């Protein structure tokens, strides 16, 4: 099945200050080399258009500008970038153009100009409405900044706003998480991503945790917070469409859905990843991480690829099951048979029967889905099917 559409991911690897839990490819940089970085992004796009002519026949479906902190880039820079992308692609449906925004980096005027530049969706990295928790996460913004940012975004005319929240912050208790959810719901954003804090290797939080100095909620408390999130957000009318993602009807993130549906995307920028579902079982590649090295490589050869892997059939199957079951839409048996030439239902009949009996998955309309009980321990259930 050849994907006729394409998503573009752009990575902006600069932040005002590195958060102690963050393992994303980003560096602290008070002096962002905006012009040379955007020049490099556009050169990299030109390289792909030249090397893979079939790209220009694809319909542009999404552009996602993530980071790092993309809202550090000026609206003029974002406009130049979007103009470059629009000049090489056409589309059949208005593309979703998302910009990640750190509430500590924008004013009303800046958001308005982002909108005029062509951004039609914002993803606000609010993370928490509690000044205490924002401080322990090392964020540069306050609760007031977060609320102002949301209000500015609405006033600027954005009618598709997502907010990110983090649960299981050190010292956080269930009632505090409950207040976070209340605060989020009261703003009525179109999309809410509610992630559990994960302790990533090589971060200050990892070291603190090893030394026993990070007071993380127990596993039981984490599960309670996860369950509360599902109950509270779905009762408020949000559709729980992926393990950590909720949206008002029809306002799922089109870009992230591409990842979960194994759709094609090209990543531009330092450390950006790309994926194409063909030839064979798919291929993914990734760029050099350091911004200076990325810019040099693009200026020398037009590309900055650091590594590439061709998926084996087994890897593609594992990925198809893993990503498919994380979505509330689940995996259609027909889609699976068409992609892999064998039946998921028949090849795993015994395991599926046990999981159904345990109330962890369900089979409806020829589709396999996690139940709400299964969602709570999604990774364990999915792994048992791989
Ligand atoms: S702002 Fe985001 S990308 Fe930057 S350091 Fe913090 S978590 Fe990482």
Domain ranges of the chain: 5-260, 314-385
Count the neighbouring beta carbons within 10 Å of the beta carbon of residue 113. 18
Nearest to 187 by CA among 252, 231, 278, 124: 124
Mutate to test the pocket of ligand 1, among 27, 68, 72 (most ligand atoms within 8 A of CB): 68
Q: Do 239 and 247 form a contact (C-beta atoms < 8 A)?
A: yes
pLDDT value, residue 237? 98
Q: Are β-strands 96-101 and 121-127 bridged in parallel, bridged antiparallel, or unpaired?
A: parallel
Domain 314-385 CATH class label:
mainly alpha
Question: What residues are in contact with ligand 1 under a 6 Å CB criterion?
Answer: 15, 18-19, 22, 24, 26, 67-69, 102, 125
> Helix H segments across the chain?
34-51, 75-86, 108-117, 131-136, 143-155, 174-187, 204-210, 219-235, 254-260, 291-301, 313-325, 333-340, 344-347, 349-357, 372-376, 378-385
Q: What is the CATH number of domain 5-260?
A: 3.20.20.70
pTM: 0.95
Q: Whose CA is nearest to atom 6 of ligand 1?
A: 19
Distance from the alpha carbon of residue 15 to the mean position of ligand 1, in angstroms = 6
Q: Do 285 and 274 form a contact (C-beta atoms < 8 A)?
A: yes
Separation CA 319–CA 317 (nearest Å): 5
Distance from the alpha carbon of residue 329 to the mean position of ligand 1, in angstroms = 30
Q: Do 238 and 250 form a contact (C-beta atoms < 8 A)?
A: no
* Ramachandran quadrant class, 199 (left: phi over 0; alpha: psi -120 to 50; beta: rest): beta
Q: Whose CA is nearest to atom 3 of ligand 1?
A: 68
Distance from the alpha carbon of residue 203 to the mean position of ligand 1, in angstroms = 12
Concatenating the DSSP letter of every residue in 16-70 gives: SS--TT--SS-EE-SS--HHHHHHHHHHHHHHHHHH-GGGGGSEEEEEEEEES-G
pLDDT value, residue 194? 98
pLDDT value, residue 282? 94
In the numeric block, the tokens 């542009």 are attached to: 60
Mean pLDDT per 10-residue run, the chain (386 residues)? Answer: 88 97 92 94 98 94 98 98 97 97 98 98 98 97 98 98 97 97 98 96 96 93 95 97 96 96 95 94 96 97 98 94 93 93 94 95 94 89 92
Mutate to test the pocket of ligand 1, among 13, 21, 26 (most ligand atoms within 8 A of CB): 26
Q: Whose CA is nearest to atom 8 of ligand 1?
A: 22
Q: Whose CA is nearest to atom 2 of ligand 1?
A: 68
Pairs from 367-373 (Cβ < 8 Å, separation ≥ 24): 367/329, 367/330, 367/331, 367/332, 367/333, 368/325, 368/330, 368/331, 368/333, 368/344, 369/325, 369/328, 369/329, 369/330, 369/331, 370/325, 370/328, 370/330, 372/230
Distance from the alpha carbon of residue 327 to the mean position of ligand 1, in angstroms = 26
Separation CA 270–CA 275 (nearest Å): 16
| 3-class SS of residue 290 | coil
Q: Are β-strands 245-247 and 191-196 bridged in parallel, bridged antiparallel, or unpaired?
A: antiparallel
């Amino acid at each position: 099945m050849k994907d006729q559409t394409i998503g573009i991911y752009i990575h902006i690897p600069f932040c005002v200050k590195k958060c102690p839990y963050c393992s994303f490819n980003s560096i602290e940089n008070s002096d962002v080399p905006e012009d040379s970085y955007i020049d490099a992004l556009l050169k990299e796009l030109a390289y792909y258009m030249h090397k893979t002519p079939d790209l220009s026949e694809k319909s542009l479906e999404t552009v996602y500008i993530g980071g790092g902190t993309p809202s550090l880039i000026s609206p003029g820079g974002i406009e130049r970038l979007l103009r470059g992308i629009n000049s090489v692609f056409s589309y059949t449906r208005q593309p979703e153009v998302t910009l990640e925004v750190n509430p500590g980096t924008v004013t009303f005027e800046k958001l308005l100009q982002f909108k005029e530049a062509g951004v039609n969706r914002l993803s606000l990295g609010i993370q928490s409405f509690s000044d205490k928790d924002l401080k322990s996460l090392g964020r540069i913004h306050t609760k007031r900044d977060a609320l102002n940012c949301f209000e500015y975004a609405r006033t600027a005319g954005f009618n598709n706003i997502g907010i990110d929240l983090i649960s299981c912050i050190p010292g956080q208790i269930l009632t505090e998480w409950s207040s976070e959810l209340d605060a989020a719901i009261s703003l009525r954003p179109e999309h809410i991503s509610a992630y559990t804090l994960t302790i990533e290797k090589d971060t200050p939080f990892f070291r603190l945790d090893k030394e026993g100095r990070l007071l993380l909620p127990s596993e039981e408390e984490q599960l309670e917070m996860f369950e509360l999130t599902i109950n509270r957000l779905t009762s408020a009318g949000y559709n729980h469409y992926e393990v950590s993602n909720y949206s008002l009807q029809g306002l799922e993130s089109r870009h992230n859905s591409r990842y979960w549906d194994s759709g094609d995307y090209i990543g531009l920028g330092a450390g950006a990843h790309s994926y194409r579902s063909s030839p064979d079982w798919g291929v993914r590649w990734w760029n050099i991480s350091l911004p200076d090295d990325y810019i040099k490589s693009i200026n020398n050869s037009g590309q900055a690829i650091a590594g590439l892997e061709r998926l084996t059939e087994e890897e593609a199957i594992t990925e198809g099951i893993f990503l498919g079951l994380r979505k509330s839409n689940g995996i259609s048996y027909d889609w699976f048979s068409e992609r892999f030439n064998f039946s998921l239902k028949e090849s795993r009949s015994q395991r599926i029967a046990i999981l159904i009996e345990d109330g962890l998955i369900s089979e409806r309309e020829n589709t396999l889905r996690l139940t709400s009980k299964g969602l709570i321990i999604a990774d364990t259930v999915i792994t048992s099917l791989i």
